[in-house]
Chains A and B, each alone.
Chain A
Amino acid sequence: DQQVKQNSPSLSVQEGRISILNCDYTNSMFDYFLWYKKYPAEGPTFLISISSIKDKNEDGRFTVFLNKSAKHLSLHIVPSQPGDSAVYFCAASAYGNDMRFGAGTRLTVKP
């Protein structure tokens, strides 16, 4: 039973445009959400997070939006750069406990 779902296995965008990666969750107890980025032959690295008391968090080119009523979050990357090409994982946790991860979305940014 996957509590965190990333329904798009892949996404391709042009350099300079916006990348939008989506994530849905089913567990209403989740109160903290994270995005990780993974390059080949490396482990996932933390990118940005948001707690459920907020609906938006920004860090440079990266913004995460949370829609609690829809149980949906998204990661916006503006502008997208070729170096952003990677697999992006969405993760969620409840009360500081273990994180549940989505299946990942492979982002390709074309020059």
Chain B
Amino acid sequence: EAQVTQNPRYLITVTGKKLTVTCSQNMNHEYMSWYRQDPGLGLRQIYYSMNVEVTDKGDVPEGYKVSRKEKRNFPLILESPSPNQTSLYFCASKGPAGTGPYSNQPQHFGDGTRLSIL
């Protein structure tokens, strides 16, 4: 079954304690991304990766790191978490957009990770 798997699903931790949220996809997708969902703000992109060893900042990258050493994995790292990073996080992947405009591929999302930072 094609899927994006995130772990953990829920985590309560304290300010400053480094944490990693893992993300793995089994669809051989080159593109992967991380989003956070906050009330009234929808899904905002944190980081994305077009391929192995290629990562770029999204709209809200501050306080986060990512790495893409293998095609299937794209972990999200919070080196020193703070309460304003309490949120619902989603990892996603998608296939190639195809050539030219007027096209794209839908992203496949994981089931989310709810982080609470006290």
Chain A contacts to B: CB under 8 angstroms: 2, 4, 6, 9, 31-32, 34, 36, 41-46, 49, 51-53, 89, 91, 93-99, 101-104
Chain A contacts of B107 at CB under 8 A? 46, 99
Q: Does B45 count as interface, using CB distance less than 8 angstroms?
A: yes
Chain B contacts of A93 at CB under 8 A? 104
Across the interface, do B112 and A42 meet the contact criterion of CB distance under 8 Å? Answer: yes
Q: B42, B45, B108: which contacts A103 (Cβ < 8 A)? A: B42
Across the interface, do A51 and B103 meet the contact criterion of CB distance under 8 Å? Answer: yes
Across the interface, do A89 and B102 meet the contact criterion of CB distance under 8 Å? Answer: no
Q: Does B58 count as interface, using CB distance less than 8 angstroms?
A: yes
Chain B contacts to A: CB under 8 angstroms: 4, 33, 35, 40-45, 48, 58, 90, 92, 97-98, 100-104, 106-112
Across the interface, do B40 and A103 meet the contact criterion of CB distance under 8 Å? Answer: yes
For the complex formed, measure the closest distance between the CB of A70 and the CB atoms of chain B, giving whole angstroms: 19
- A44-B109, A101-B35 given; 9 more Cβ-contact pairs under 8 Å: A32-B101, A32-B102, A36-B106, A36-B109, A44-B90, A46-B106, A51-B102, A94-B101, A96-B97
For the complex formed, measure the closest distance between the CB of A27 and the CB atoms of chain B, giving whole angstroms: 13
How long is the Cα–Cα vector from A52 to B101 in the complex, in angstroms?
9
Q: B110 — nearest CB in chain A belongs to which residue?
A: A43
How long is the Cα–Cα vector from A98 to B35 in the complex, in angstroms?
11
How long is the Cα–Cα vector from A11 to B33 in the complex, in angstroms?
29
Across the interface, do A32 and B109 meet the contact criterion of CB distance under 8 Å? Answer: no
Q: B45 — nearest CB in chain A belongs to which residue?
A: A98
27 pairs from A and B in contact (CB 8 Å cutoff): A2-B41, A2-B42, A9-B40, A31-B101, A31-B102, A32-B101, A32-B104, A42-B112, A43-B92, A43-B109, A43-B112, A46-B106, A49-B106, A51-B103, A52-B102, A89-B42, A89-B43, A91-B43, A93-B104, A94-B101, A95-B100, A96-B98, A96-B103, A98-B48, A99-B45, A99-B104, A101-B42
